[in-house]
Structure 1
Amino acid sequence: MSIRAFRSPRIWALPVIMIALLSLALPACYLSGITDPQANLHQLPVALVLEPQQPAASSSADLDGAAESVAAAVRTGTDPEKIQIVAMSTAEMTDAFRDDDIYGAVVVPSDFDRGLRNLVSPPPGTTPSRPVVTIVNNAGDGNLAAGLVNSNVTPVLAAIQRTMGERLPPSADPYRGLAMQEPFLVRTASDRVLPPKSGAGLTPFYLALVTILIGFIGASAIHPSIDAAIGFTPSEVGPMTSRRPYRRATRTTTLLAKLTVLLAVAPIAAALLQLIATSVIGVSMGQPLVMWLLLTAAIAAVGVGALSVFAIFGGPGALINTFFFVALSLASGPAVPAEALPGWLRTLTSVTAMQPILDGVRAVLFFDGRSEAGLTHAWTRIGVGAAVGLALGLVTTWLYDRNPGFSRHPDAERPVVAEPTPARA
């Protein structure tokens, strides 16, 4: 076959078209989710905690209910399309942080009214200080989520500061008068300290990504290896090419063989991944057994899906797997809250592999392995995904096997028998 034969569009058209489609889809997926999360923000859940106020020694009509007015202004001042304010008690807020139900909270402390009164009319011999309103961020959700909470809530609290300062009576003390222009402070804090080697909240994302890559790349290695082992395709290593004797096997049997190899190696791969993460890198895992089981299930589920795609689509399955398990997984909110993604990408979080694995890993690393913090959701989605992938693969290969036109078996070459030469008279 000469080089000129490769000029035929039938040879190069399909890969060129697929690469062009990926070149359109990948930047659309990646850049759409990260370039402007504020513009895409939709009802990010934030708690509002108004603690019961301490009784005051004296009453002032101008200052009565100041804490309630701050809480009311937070509710009305934030954009309801972007921030979902949920009123909670202190105990409810603590549980919500533990269950990863909220990204942050605005806390108006119990001494707010009393501190404001002392600022306006300080008791003799005391140095009054301004009360503090705290924005508490969920440390386990990462810096980007904290930035979204702060950037949407801080301007509202700043406006409340100015409005409240304008309503307070003037003070003869210049220092106190300056402080009364912004009569309370706004501070930020995290709900807790993350364990060492947490990567500012990004360690779960990278651990989930490595898990997906192991399952995806492992399936990509098993698929051609088994085909080469039964002689269906040649085996090529560098300049050396070999082909084993062909062994007849149905598509279903071949897929089951590949799945068996995958399921056998998945727990080993998960153990090695966890060993490197903990012993070499130093990532702290409070529940190593739960993490190992989760990583094993995730690798197996991704591998089952990828092998089924190969069985259904053949060669193009490599690009389909790359797009689904890598491109869409990275695009569907691993580092960006789902509430800050464009609508179409937000929908993908319900079908891609990344979100359930990330939820489960984050629950084990940062939320004490609590079921409510995403672990139950992870197990459910991983199980459903593996079952759907397995069913699609087996049903499709069974249908292929029933159609003789879809057979993988090459026709046996018939030996050429020379015809006898007629005898001369």
Structure 2
Amino acid sequence: MIILLSLALPACYLSGITDPQANVRRLPVALVAGPQREGGALDGTARSVADAVRTGTDQEKIRIIAMSPAEMATAMRDNAVYGAVVIPEDFDHALAGLVTATPGTVPARPVVSIVTNAGAGNLAAGLVNGAMSPVLAAVQHSVAERLGVFADPYRALVLREPFAVRTVPDRVLPPRSGSGLTPFYLALVTILIGFIGASTIHPAVDAAIGFAPSEVGPFTTRRRYRPASRTTTLLAKLAVLLAVAPIAAALLNLTAARVIGVPMDHPLVMWLLLTSAITAVGIGALSVFAVFGSPGALVNTFFFVAMSLATGPSVPTEALPAWLRACTSITAMPPILDGVRAVLFFDGRGAAGLTDGWTHIAVGATVGLALGLTTTWWYDRNPRLSRHPAEAEATAGALLRR
């Protein structure tokens, strides 16, 4: 098992982050080209620039979505796009001013903006900028060639770069946002609390009923065994989890907001989300222990830690390798991270990932609970799989007598 983990963990950790630019598939980027003034020789240049952006972009890597300014603002708030290319409404007019400017004057060049979604993180912004900057550089060259027809030789030399390109975030994140990484670390801590909590509850309840010894340093104690079915034992562990999850979430929330100073405009929503996430992860981990026994620790480590760190904590889903992108629908990190990010950076909007986070957390908890209870029920009904020492000895004796 250790050998398998030695192969699997590097594959999970390094595959997603090594070359996200090469793995990008259909990254959504908005294209905003407002209506232009008409009546000049350069009318239609802005439209030509927009068309060149569409045709010059690799459609397999970047999904260009035409939007109005209002639609772009909504898409940014809903975390539906990672960035946008914005062509200003006075683009054609400003270009005409460059061509017809009187000698000795330096008119302002129009500016095409690459607007990045600040809440999506720095890596997403880098992917958008890295994909769109070369496209706009090529468009600059083609526009310069067109303007040379209208300008004298001297001005044609000046107009080699007829418009400027700048990269700006759609907004400034609040202080103590960790350059957009705070949601990732908060989601990771939440998963670890659920995972480690389940790993603590599992042996503690087994020790409480006398099924397993309890060790503290060099001291070992074992209570008298109290027969309990696997299903009853699992339910007892789940009851402990449900009791401590709200307290753990409250302490996590309090530490993040009050002690560390993470800006949190919706603390109640965050507490409910963290409580649900800890509960869902804990249910899944306890069910894995119920199914696999001691090897469940390795299964849980791989699924809740390795796969969570591999499936998009800082890399957009669209920039993951295909096999990791497929795993994002079943691993714990993406829905929890989307929910936390929506609460911290997108005003708790459901469309920004909170609704999807709630849904996936609920589905994950339900599947984990069904897996655990169904498996323990089947184990309890099979005498050969008895958890009770006396019954196991009687079954073994009966098998030997046959």
1:309 to 288, 294, 300: 288
Distance 1:21 1:235, change over 3 A: same
Match in the other structure for 1:386:
365
Equivalent residue pairs, number? 392
Structure (1 or 2) with the larger CA radius of gyration? 1
Match in the other structure for 1:354:
333
> Equivalents in 2 of 1:36, 1:127: separation in Å?
42
Structure 2 runs not aligned, ≥5 long: 394-402
> Equivalents in 2 of 1:209, 1:127: separation in Å?
53
> Equivalents in 2 of 1:298, 1:185: separation in Å?
46
Scaled by the length of structure 1, the TM-score of the pair is 0.90
Match in the other structure for 2:387:
408
> Which one-letter code corresponds to 2:352 in the other structure?
A
Match in the other structure for 1:27:
10
SS at structure 2 position matched to 1:365: helix
Match in the other structure for 2:247:
268
Match in the other structure for 1:217:
196
1:87 to 66, 79, 84: 66
Q: CA deviation at 1:168?
A: 1.6
Question: Does residue 259 of the first structure (1) align with residue 238 of the second (2)?
Answer: yes
Once superposed, what is the RMSD of the aligned Cα atoms?
1.6
> Equivalents in 2 of 1:217, 1:103: separation in Å?
34
CA contact 2:148–2:156 (8 Å) conserved in 1: no
> Equivalents in 2 of 1:381, 1:167: separation in Å?
52
> Equivalents in 2 of 1:219, 1:182: separation in Å?
60
Following TM superposition, the consecutive aligned residue runs of length 4 or more in structure 1 with deviations greater than 4 angstroms are: 123-126, 170-174
Question: Does residue 155 of the first structure (1) align with residue 134 of the second (2)?
Answer: yes
Question: Does residue 368 of the first structure (1) align with residue 347 of the second (2)?
Answer: yes
Report Cα offsets for 1:277-296 as digits up to 9, x if no partner.
Answer: 01111000110000000000
> Which one-letter code corresponds to 2:194 in the other structure?
G
Match in the other structure for 1:15:
none
Match in the other structure for 1:67:
46
What fraction of aligned residue pairs are identical, expressed as a percent?
72
Report Cα offsets for 1:3-36 as digits up to 9, x if no partner.
Answer: xxxxxxxxxxxxxxx0000001011111111101
1:44 to 9, 16, 27: 27
Question: Does residue 333 of the first structure (1) align with residue 312 of the second (2)?
Answer: yes
> Equivalents in 2 of 1:54, 1:375: separation in Å?
41
> Equivalents in 2 of 1:129, 1:165: separation in Å?
15
Question: Does residue 190 of the first structure (1) align with residue 143 of the second (2)?
Answer: no
Question: Does residue 96 of the first structure (1) align with residue 75 of the second (2)?
Answer: yes
Q: CA deviation at 1:229?
A: 0.7
Distance 1:413 1:386, change over 3 A: closer
Q: CA deviation at 1:333?
A: 1.1
> Equivalents in 2 of 1:92, 1:36: separation in Å?
31
> Equivalents in 2 of 1:275, 1:302: separation in Å?
21
Report Cα offsets for 1:126-145 as digits up to 9, x if no partner.
Answer: 64111000000000111111
